Structures are given as C-alpha cells and as structure tokens.
Amino acid sequence: MLHLLPLSTILLLLRTIVANPISTPQSQPLPLLIWHGLGDNYAAEGLHTVGDLANATNPGTFVYYIRLDESPDSDKTATFFGNLTEQVAQVCDDLANHPILSTAPGVNALGFSQGGQFLRGFVERCNFPPVKNLITFGSQHNGIARYQICGATDWLCKAYIGLLKANTWGAWVQSHLVPAQYFRSTNDTTGEPTEEYLESSNFLADINNERKLKNTTYAKNLASLDKFVMYLFDEDTTVIPKESGWFAHVNGSSGEVTDLKDRDIYKEDWIGLKKLDEKGGLEFKTTEGGHMQLDDEMLMDVFKTYFSPEKASWAGPTDKVQEQVEL
C-alpha cells in the first residue's frame, strides 16, 4: 500500500539534501601516456623518475609507459627494429583495451624524441582514448636528413647505420628499420620531397599527409587537441636538423630554414596544425642543452602548466592502482 509523506516532511528532506549534497569522487588529473625514445625501454629507471615527478606535481596521476613488449629488452629492440605502421596499430589496440585508460574521458601524452612523432601518429590514426594535450621533446616531426645516433666506439650501431644508409628506400629497410621510416629526403633546389621518399616512406610521408591523397581523419584528430606543444633543444646535435622538432624544413645545401607557417603542410592544413593554431592550441618552445637534456624544474613546469587537474580532470578509476613495473 502506498503511503504519501506529508508536505512538511518532503520539504524538510529537500532542505537536508541541499545542505548535505551526496559526495562525489575527488577529481584527479587525466592519465598520462609516456612514449620513450630510441634505445630506451618502458621500464627504464630514468623514465619512471619522470612519471614519479608527474605524480608529485599532480598527485593521483595514473601514468602509463607505452611499450611494444612486456620484456624491457625486447621493448628496447623494438625502438630499432620493427614496422612503425604495425607498432602504432598495436599501441592503438593496447590503449583501447586497457581497463583504466579505456574508461577515461581523455589522456595527456608526453613523447621523448622519436616517441613524440609516434604519439602524434597515435593521435592521427586512432586517438582512443582521446589525447587532450600532447607535449613532445626533440621529436622528428619533419623527419631527419642524417642518421646520427651512434657513439664514437659503438661499432654495432655503426653497422646498423651502414645498413640504413645503403638502402633507405628499400622495402625491407622501410618495414624493418625504425629510423629509416622517419627519414625524409628533399631536393635542395626546390625544397620539395623526393619521389622516392613519397613513394616508399612507410611512416612519415603518411602521417604528415604529404602524398596527393590526403587522409582527412588525420587533420580532424590532430586539430581536436587542446594543446600541442613542441620543445626543441637549442644545442641538439642528435636530431638533424633540430628544427624538425617544429615541423620546419632546412635546406641541406644553404641551411636556410623554412618555418612551419610558410610551408604547405600548414597553409593547406594537411594535418590540422593550422586549425589547431587558430584556436590557440599550437605552441613552439625552446629549452637549453643538447638532445634530451632535461631537468626536474623544466618537467615540473610542463606538468603544472599543461597537465594539472585544473586544466582537465576525471573521477578516476574505482581501484586507484598506479601501474607497477618491476625495475
């Protein structure tokens, strides 16, 4: 039998609810993706120091270290050997099925060196969970014009580079040797990319939409970012040319630099950079030192400026478990 409450009782209950609202979970920073560079691995102590710093700056940050294999050694090997199209597809699948990341309304992303353009490839090709803020350090967004990754006495590395140089545009190299897949060759007279690059590049020519047939999804996805911040190391001698970190083109003969905004990739908005810039989402930054020379103060400033919960937050996973990796 239905019993109706007196009006006075209903009003008292309403006043009690208004005065004591139901508590909601405390907002947390968005999860953070970190993709490491060449010769590194997802379990490296230095990389986890960065993740710890992100958590110290914005407590409660769930940090996910992108990997291509659960074995740190195999993950490191994958930075040298592998098909980038397949690697990015694997990461897309891994993140889309991650029990925590797949439930988040968005994530932030931090890419070191080649990890930066790989994260951009993730954004352009799948972008789930959606990236809100993408920060890259010393990345090769406009490719490299020279292979410069070996120490003076690293003969194994030098043999690897010899293989790269011998047949950069060969089908085997373009599907197996990672740096070759973001190598970019141009005509120094016209500044235009060479036909062999446009025809054979397995990765860079595609994610930069340099071929005649443009993928409109790439531009839509990249323009959806809140911020895309590109840091360039002012004394970088590893990435050649270092201006690649800002999508600039450098003439191999004269050294003349053509900035992004003077290039067709921006003016015709091939990948959404112009639209992103027009809404205030594109930033060019310089930091002192050589390639990947970063200090805690710099990183903390990045985390506070772009990844703080005041910028974007979520309720967080039910089980607040930070990813643990045995170092």
Residue spans per domain, the chain: 26-144+216-311
The band of 317, judged by pLDDT with boundaries at 50, 70 and 90, is confident
CATH number of 26-144+216-311: 3.40.50.1820
Q: CB-based contacts of 321: which residues, under 8 Å, 6+ apart?
A: none
Output the pLDDT for position 166: 77
Average pLDDT over residues 31-49: 97
Higher pLDDT, 214 or 318: 214
Q: Please write the tens of the pLDDT for every residue from 250-299.
A: 998 899 999 999 999 999 999 999 999 999 999 999 999 999 999 999 99
Nearest of 109, 120, 125 to residue 66 by alpha carbon: 109
* % of residues, the chain, pLDDT over 70: 87
Output the pLDDT for position 305: 97
- Which backbone phi and psi does 289 adopt, to 5 degrees? 100, 180
Q: E strands of the chain, at which residues?
A: 28-29, 32-35, 63-65, 107-112, 131-137, 227-233, 249-250, 257-258, 282-287, 313-314
Question: pTM surpassing 0.85?
Answer: yes
CA dihedral 161, 166, 171, 173 (to 10 degrees): -10
Q: Please write the tens of the pLDDT for every residue from 99-117.
A: 999 999 999 999 999 999 9
The band of 19, judged by pLDDT with boundaries at 50, 70 and 90, is very low
Higher pLDDT, 149 or 204: 204
- Token digits for 163? 């293989």
Q: CB-based contacts of 237: which residues, under 8 Å, 6+ apart?
A: 148, 290, 291
Write out the catalytic residue numbers: 113, 236, 291
Distance of CA 164 to the CA centre of its chain: 25
